[in-house]
Amino acid sequence: MPTVEEHFERATREIGKVLVGQHDLVEGTLIALFCEGNVLIEGVPGLGKTLLVNALSRALSTQFKRVQFTPDLMPSDLTGTSIYQMAEREFKFIPGPIFTNLLLADEINRAPPKTQSALLEAMQERQVTVDGVSHPLPRPFITIATQNPLEQEGTYPLPEAQLDRFMFKLLVDYPKIEEERGILTHYAAGRDIRDLSLFGLEPVLTGDIVLEIQQSISKVIVEESVINYITDIVAKTRNWPTVQIGASPRASVNILLASRAMAACSGRNFVIPDDVKTLSPWILRHRVRLRPEAEIEGASTDDAIREILESVEAPKK
């Protein structure tokens, strides 16, 4: 039976057939999938956010639904609704697109907060409640949401409760010059990313395999010294001079879970401090709020997180 590392490498190769560069983005998304966490991807249009999820859906042999979030999108458009059936003389629940394994919430911050909040229960409890009746979602279930920077017109900030449901917030930057050449090479060879069938992507993961991976990751060893390292980092966010609101215990739990997944993807059955250090910015950047005076001076949450990581001594063993 292939190891978690081998599954990770196969999926990475398949996505790499389409998406040039963006290694942190691919790695973070797969790690979140392997521990059933949700991912928020932020970047300006045209950097491959949606392309990543479309490529992942081809490498993952499960149900995939995409919802384009717009200002007029209603919560029922996402979760589904009950419709009265004349023949049976009763209401019947018609599931919405949220009933899938992989959900792409595209440009999530272009929908109003009421619609954004429709995802809260699904992301946390893996179920949807409509008219007082709870409907379980299929497993595995992961939401990958993309958003444009808040400086752009027509965007709504995500509520803090919503942000906290995302395991990772990954930032997409402009590609390096050699990576952009690789993108153009695809087009020059007649491979248009609007038609992924041209790239020969093959499904290398199934829902059952993902569930097995999630179960096996729970056996990865986390030493007490690493647990103390995680709690020290998160505790520092709550009393750091430039930070107004620190991270909750959910952040600590997510660092531990994601560190186990990263260790397994690296071929290890134990977590090392470098796993924690790599993942902490992805997990903390959307949970930490800076003081207004620090923002005025040009500081960023990533700056604060980097300073916190430098101030906390990592375990030696």
pLDDT > 90? residue 169? yes
Report the alpha-carbon distance of residue 312 to residue 233 in Å, rounded: 6
Residue 316 belongs to a domain: no
pLDDT on residue 182:
82
pLDDT on residue 232:
95
* Residue corresponding to tokens 């919802």: 67
- 246 shares a domain with 174: no
Q: Could you tell me the sign of the dihedral formed by the alpha carbons of 179, 181, 184, 188, in that order?
A: negative
- 226 shares a domain with 203: no
Report the alpha-carbon distance of residue 34 to residue 144 in Å, rounded: 13
pLDDT per residue as tens digits for the range 80-126: 888 877 877 778 888 889 999 999 998 888 888 788 878 888 888 88
pLDDT per residue as tens digits for the range 36-75: 899 999 887 777 788 888 888 888 888 889 999 888 888 8
Domain boundary among 174, 194, 212: 212
User: What mean pLDDT value characterizes the chain?
Assistant: 87
Domain boundary among 170, 187, 212: 212
- 107 shares a domain with 59: yes
pLDDT on residue 90:
79
- 223 shares a domain with 207: no
- 240 shares a domain with 302: yes
Tally of domains within the chain: 2
Give the pair of three-digit tokens for residue 117.
Answer: 């909040």
- 222 shares a domain with 191: no
Q: Please give the model's pTM, rounded to 2 decimal places.
A: 0.89
pLDDT on residue 297:
84
3-state secondary structure at position 81: strand
Candidate ranges 5-19, 21-35, 275-289; pick with highest mean pLDDT: 275-289
Residue 317 belongs to a domain: no
Q: How many CA atoms lie within 13 A of 110 on its CB side?
A: 19
102-118 in b/e burial notation, b at 16+ Cβ within 10 A? bbbbbbbbbbbeebbeb
Task: Work out the pLDDT band at 2, boundaries 50, 70, 90.
Answer: confident
- Cα-to-chain-centroid distance, residue 205: 18
CATH code at position 178: 3.40.50.300
- 228 shares a domain with 193: no
Task: Work out the pLDDT band at 153, boundaries 50, 70, 90.
Answer: low
CATH code at position 237: 1.10.8.80
Q: Could you tell me the sign of the dihedral formed by the alpha carbons of 69, 72, 75, 81, in that order?
A: negative
- 187 shares a domain with 241: no
- 9 shares a domain with 117: yes
pLDDT per residue as tens digits for the range 208-252: 999 999 999 999 999 999 999 999 999 999 999 998 888 999 999
- 142 shares a domain with 54: yes
Q: Could you list the residue range(s) of the whole structural domain that residue 11 is in?
A: 4-212
Contacts of 194 (CB under 8 A, 6+ apart): none
- 272 shares a domain with 196: no
Please give the C-alpha separations between residue 80 and each of 36, 69, 70, 92, 281, in angstroms, as whole numbers: 23, 15, 17, 11, 35
Please give the C-alpha separations between residue 206 and each of 57, 73, 178, in angstroms, as whole numbers: 10, 31, 33
Domain boundary among 190, 212, 234: 212
Contacts of 176 (CB under 8 A, 6+ apart): 21
Report the alpha-carbon distance of residue 222 to residue 270 in Å, rounded: 6
How many Å from the N-terminal Cα to the C-terminal Cα in the chain? 31
- 250 shares a domain with 222: yes
